[in-house]
Amino acid sequence: MALMVVQHVALPGWHPTVQLGTEYGENAAKYAGEADLPPGVNLWLDLEGIAQGTSHADIKGYANAWFNAVAAADYVPGVYVGFDVFLSPDELFFDLKMKHYWRADGHIPHVSHRGYQLIQSILDPNTPQEFDRDVTKDDDLGGFALWLTSNPALMRPATAIA
Protein backbone atom coordinates (compact mmCIF):
# COMPACT_ATOMS: atom_id res chain seq x y z
CA MET A 1 0.00 0.00 0.00
CA ALA A 2 1.17 3.53 -0.79
CA LEU A 3 -0.40 6.69 0.57
CA MET A 4 -0.70 10.17 -0.94
CA VAL A 5 -2.25 12.87 1.26
CA VAL A 6 -4.27 15.60 -0.48
CA GLN A 7 -5.99 18.61 1.07
CA HIS A 8 -9.06 19.35 -1.03
CA VAL A 9 -10.31 22.86 -1.68
CA ALA A 10 -13.73 24.41 -1.35
CA LEU A 11 -16.42 24.00 -3.99
CA PRO A 12 -15.71 25.41 -7.48
CA GLY A 13 -15.75 29.19 -7.60
CA TRP A 14 -13.74 29.76 -4.43
CA HIS A 15 -11.37 32.74 -3.95
CA PRO A 16 -7.77 32.09 -2.83
CA THR A 17 -5.96 34.56 -0.55
CA VAL A 18 -2.63 34.56 1.26
CA GLN A 19 -4.45 34.38 4.61
CA LEU A 20 -6.47 31.36 3.45
CA GLY A 21 -3.32 29.67 2.14
CA THR A 22 -1.65 30.06 5.52
CA GLU A 23 -4.73 28.80 7.38
CA TYR A 24 -5.26 25.80 5.10
CA GLY A 25 -1.54 24.93 5.08
CA GLU A 26 -1.35 25.06 8.88
CA ASN A 27 -4.45 22.83 9.06
CA ALA A 28 -2.98 20.36 6.55
CA ALA A 29 0.21 20.07 8.58
CA LYS A 30 -1.68 19.83 11.88
CA TYR A 31 -3.97 17.05 10.64
CA ALA A 32 -1.08 15.19 9.03
CA GLY A 33 0.74 15.26 12.36
CA GLU A 34 -2.38 14.11 14.22
CA ALA A 35 -2.60 11.20 11.75
CA ASP A 36 1.01 10.29 12.62
CA LEU A 37 2.30 10.93 9.11
CA PRO A 38 6.08 11.20 9.31
CA PRO A 39 7.89 14.36 8.27
CA GLY A 40 9.44 14.24 4.82
CA VAL A 41 6.44 12.95 2.87
CA ASN A 42 4.49 14.99 0.35
CA LEU A 43 1.34 16.79 1.42
CA TRP A 44 -0.55 17.82 -1.71
CA LEU A 45 -2.46 21.05 -2.21
CA ASP A 46 -5.52 20.47 -4.42
CA LEU A 47 -5.42 23.61 -6.56
CA GLU A 48 -8.49 23.72 -8.79
CA GLY A 49 -11.92 25.23 -9.19
CA ILE A 50 -10.76 28.80 -8.64
CA ALA A 51 -13.28 31.56 -9.40
CA GLN A 52 -13.08 33.11 -12.86
CA GLY A 53 -11.33 36.48 -12.80
CA THR A 54 -9.21 35.74 -9.71
CA SER A 55 -5.90 37.56 -10.00
CA HIS A 56 -2.84 35.45 -10.69
CA ALA A 57 -1.15 37.19 -7.75
CA ASP A 58 -3.87 35.89 -5.39
CA ILE A 59 -3.54 32.34 -6.74
CA LYS A 60 0.25 32.36 -6.39
CA GLY A 61 0.09 34.05 -2.97
CA TYR A 62 -2.34 31.40 -1.72
CA ALA A 63 -0.22 28.49 -3.03
CA ASN A 64 3.03 29.93 -1.67
CA ALA A 65 1.51 30.68 1.75
CA TRP A 66 0.25 27.07 1.85
CA PHE A 67 3.74 25.90 0.88
CA ASN A 68 5.34 27.93 3.69
CA ALA A 69 2.97 26.56 6.35
CA VAL A 70 3.41 22.92 5.27
CA ALA A 71 7.20 23.19 4.89
CA ALA A 72 7.47 24.80 8.34
CA ALA A 73 6.04 21.55 9.76
CA ASP A 74 8.71 19.50 7.91
CA TYR A 75 6.35 18.05 5.32
CA VAL A 76 7.16 18.37 1.62
CA PRO A 77 4.59 20.51 -0.19
CA GLY A 78 3.29 19.49 -3.59
CA VAL A 79 0.50 20.78 -5.78
CA TYR A 80 -2.23 18.90 -7.63
CA VAL A 81 -2.96 21.07 -10.67
CA GLY A 82 -6.59 20.63 -11.64
CA PHE A 83 -9.17 22.57 -13.63
CA ASP A 84 -9.54 26.37 -13.47
CA VAL A 85 -6.09 27.15 -12.10
CA PHE A 86 -5.46 29.86 -14.75
CA LEU A 87 -1.68 29.95 -14.26
CA SER A 88 0.63 29.58 -17.24
CA PRO A 89 3.28 26.85 -17.48
CA ASP A 90 5.95 29.45 -16.64
CA GLU A 91 3.99 30.80 -13.65
CA LEU A 92 3.58 27.27 -12.28
CA PHE A 93 7.35 26.73 -12.47
CA PHE A 94 8.87 30.15 -11.77
CA ASP A 95 6.32 31.74 -9.40
CA LEU A 96 5.30 28.83 -7.16
CA LYS A 97 7.70 27.50 -4.54
CA MET A 98 6.60 23.94 -5.32
CA LYS A 99 8.98 21.29 -6.62
CA HIS A 100 6.37 18.50 -6.72
CA TYR A 101 3.55 18.57 -9.25
CA TRP A 102 0.60 16.23 -9.82
CA ARG A 103 -1.42 16.61 -13.03
CA ALA A 104 -5.17 16.13 -13.09
CA ASP A 105 -6.88 14.50 -16.03
CA GLY A 106 -8.14 16.90 -18.69
CA HIS A 107 -6.83 20.07 -20.30
CA ILE A 108 -4.24 21.01 -17.67
CA PRO A 109 -1.25 23.28 -18.34
CA HIS A 110 2.24 21.82 -18.48
CA VAL A 111 4.80 22.88 -15.86
CA SER A 112 7.67 24.57 -17.70
CA HIS A 113 11.09 22.98 -17.33
CA ARG A 114 9.93 20.44 -14.73
CA GLY A 115 6.76 18.64 -15.82
CA TYR A 116 4.80 16.37 -13.51
CA GLN A 117 5.67 13.59 -11.06
CA LEU A 118 2.15 12.17 -10.92
CA ILE A 119 -0.21 11.91 -13.88
CA GLN A 120 -3.90 11.22 -13.38
CA SER A 121 -6.25 9.64 -15.90
CA ILE A 122 -9.87 8.86 -15.25
CA LEU A 123 -11.14 5.54 -16.52
CA ASP A 124 -14.87 5.14 -17.27
CA PRO A 125 -15.75 8.71 -16.22
CA ASN A 126 -19.26 9.44 -14.96
CA THR A 127 -20.13 5.77 -14.56
CA PRO A 128 -20.40 3.56 -11.47
CA GLN A 129 -17.07 2.04 -12.58
CA GLU A 130 -15.22 5.40 -12.61
CA PHE A 131 -11.63 4.97 -11.47
CA ASP A 132 -8.89 7.57 -10.98
CA ARG A 133 -5.60 6.10 -12.13
CA ASP A 134 -2.47 7.95 -10.98
CA VAL A 135 0.94 7.01 -12.35
CA THR A 136 4.21 8.23 -10.84
CA LYS A 137 7.30 9.19 -12.81
CA ASP A 138 10.40 11.27 -12.35
CA ASP A 139 9.87 14.79 -13.62
CA ASP A 140 12.14 16.44 -16.20
CA LEU A 141 14.51 17.64 -13.44
CA GLY A 142 14.77 14.24 -11.75
CA GLY A 143 12.31 15.02 -8.95
CA PHE A 144 9.84 12.42 -7.71
CA ALA A 145 6.88 12.10 -5.36
CA LEU A 146 7.64 11.31 -1.72
CA TRP A 147 5.00 9.00 -0.33
CA LEU A 148 4.34 6.81 2.64
CA THR A 149 4.41 3.09 1.89
CA SER A 150 4.49 -0.18 3.74
CA ASN A 151 5.81 -1.98 0.64
CA PRO A 152 9.64 -2.02 0.51
CA ALA A 153 9.50 -2.73 -3.24
CA LEU A 154 8.03 0.75 -3.77
CA MET A 155 10.75 2.55 -1.81
CA ARG A 156 13.62 4.31 -3.51
CA PRO A 157 17.18 3.62 -2.37
CA ALA A 158 18.31 6.13 0.23
CA THR A 159 20.96 7.42 -2.16
CA ALA A 160 18.22 8.55 -4.59
CA ILE A 161 16.39 10.77 -2.13
CA ALA A 162 17.26 14.41 -2.66
For residue 55, being part of any structural domain is answered with: yes
- Of 84, 148, 78, the closest CA to residue 114 belongs to 78
The pLDDT score that the predictor gives to residue 10 is 86
For residue 159, being part of any structural domain is answered with: no
The pLDDT score that the predictor gives to residue 125 is 84
User: Which range marks the domain in which residue 111 is found?
Assistant: 2-154
Question: 160: which residues sit within 8 A by CB, 6+ positions away?
Answer: 144
pTM, whole model, 2 decimals? 0.89
For every one of its 162 residues, what pLDDT tens digit does the chain have, with 9 covering 90 and above?
667 789 988 899 999 999 999 999 999 999 999 999 999 999 999 999 999 999 999 999 999 999 999 999 999 999 999 999 999 999 999 999 999 999 999 999 999 999 999 999 999 988 999 898 899 999 999 999 998 766 666 555 443 333
CATH number at residue 44: 3.20.20
Contact yes or no for 120/92 (Cβ under 8 A): no
| Per-position DSSP letters for 4-45, written without gaps between them | -EEE---STTB---HHHHHHHHHHHHHHHHHTTPPTTSEEEE
The pLDDT score that the predictor gives to residue 160 is 38
Phi, psi values for residue 137, rounded to 5°: -160, 160
For residue 71, being part of any structural domain is answered with: yes
For residue 136, being part of any structural domain is answered with: yes
Q: Is 46 exposed, middle or buried (0-12, 13-18, 19+ CB in 10 A)?
A: middle
Contact yes or no for 79/63 (Cβ under 8 A): yes
Specify the number of domains making up the chain. 1
For residue 146, being part of any structural domain is answered with: yes
The pLDDT score that the predictor gives to residue 162 is 35
For residue 160, being part of any structural domain is answered with: no
For residue 162, being part of any structural domain is answered with: no
- Of 104, 122, 120, the closest CA to residue 48 belongs to 104
For residue 46, being part of any structural domain is answered with: yes
